[in-house]
Amino acid sequence: MNRRDRLEYLALLEERARRKARRKFFDLFPDEGPLRRELYKKHLEFFRAGAEHDERCFMAGNRVGKTESGGGYETVCHATGLYPEWWEGHRFERPIKGLLSGDTGITTRDIIQKKLCGDWDDLGTGLIPGDNLIIEQCTRKQGIPEAYESIAVKHVSGGVSTLKLRSYEQGRKIFQGTEEDWIWFDEECPLDVYEEALIRTMTTHGLTVLTFTPLSGLTELVVSFLESVGEL
């Protein structure tokens, strides 16, 4: 192989790696292999419950995939309409309006936004497939560098889903006055913020989910979910 052929081959490998990085969503929950879907029973149970319950909580220890393979994965399913064949949870047949929140603006950027969009200098390499992330329609957040106020996502119908990024530190007032199809809290939120979120999904018959580790112990919110499943 001469130098020109080697360079062309290297370029092909780089392009293949680039395309793979922009399709991370499609590699999750495969049918076979060491990361095969059947090993993630709790995740599948969480998704499946969405077909019957408007409120859900994925409460578990650290490093079990609550954010990326739980709330993040389902967010992308709803925003894009790219539901896998095995999906048994709730389905939206149209673009959605969603609200995603962490505890601070910085953590929302560093965790939720990064999981969905990828690094700021390599947008399109997160869970949202690169071809579905409409960067030119995303809006920047004031006061926090490299952070989005909202993310625009191409839906399979041809429409556009909008995902707003918020934080608990802004208080419940930041959630007022909107109607949402999908609300995802990554990390436990104050009870009054959660109650406000339920109001935001009331008229749309939308879904509200939380993914967190109960680091603060038996708070009112934690107790309410444990009581609902008979564990208290």
- What CATH number did the domain enclosing 94 receive? 3.40.50
Residue span of the structural domain in which 18 resides: 3-228
In the sheet with 182-186, reading across from the earlier edge strand, the strands are 55-59, 207-212, 182-186, 97-102, 160-167, 148-154, 139-140
**pTM of the model as a whole:** 0.92
pLDDT tens-digit map of 92-150: 999 999 999 999 999 999 999 999 999 999 999 999 999 999 999 999 999 999 999 99
Find the radius of gyration of the CA atoms of the chain: 19
154 - beta bridge partners? 160
Number of structural domains, the chain? 1
Q: Which residue has the tokens 């080697």?
A: 6
